[in-house]
């Protein structure tokens, strides 16, 4: 399956849904999408919904760190939605879950 991203807008948030592995091959596409969203003139949070992904590596984690900094610089938030324990565990082990809200739903992340 080829990697792809879908973006949907809802009140208070832009949800980015990757489909496929988040790795060195897809990190650039994710970075470009999140950078573009960070440049928008809005207060909406950016939420990464990992329902369509089963793998995340250090290159994609680095993209999350960079995006968090970009969004915080313009007083916006980044969150991650995942119900997959192995993905949540990666975010916990790397301590990204200490600085990026992680929840089961977009609503959980926006609270």
Domain ranges across the chain: 4-110
Q: What is the pLDDT of residue 20?
A: 98
Q: In which element (H, E) is residue 47 found?
A: strand 45-49
pLDDT tens for each residue of 67-102: 999 999 999 999 999 999 999 999 999 999 999 999
By the 10 Å C-beta count (0-12 exposed, 13-18 middle, 19+ buried), 2 is classed as exposed
Whether residue 1 is predicted with pLDDT greater than 90 in this model: the reply is no
Domain 4-110 in CATH 3.30.750.24? The answer is yes
Return the DSSP state at 54.
Answer: S
Whether residue 25 is predicted with pLDDT greater than 90 in this model: the reply is yes
């Amino acid at each position: 399956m080829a990697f792809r991203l879908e973006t949907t807008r809802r009140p208070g948030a832009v949800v980015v849904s990757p489909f496929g592995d988040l790795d060195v091959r897809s990190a650039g596409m994710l970075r470009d999408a999140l950078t573009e969203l960070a440049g928008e003139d809005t207060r909406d949070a950016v939420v990464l919904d990992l329902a369509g992904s089963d793998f995340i590596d250090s290159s994609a984690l680095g993209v999350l760190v960079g995006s968090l900094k970009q969004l915080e610089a313009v007083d916006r938030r980044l969150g991650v939605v995942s119900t997959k324990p192995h993905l949540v565990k990666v975010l916990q082990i790397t301590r990204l879950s200490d600085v990026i809200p992680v929840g089961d739903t977009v609503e959980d992340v926006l609270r």
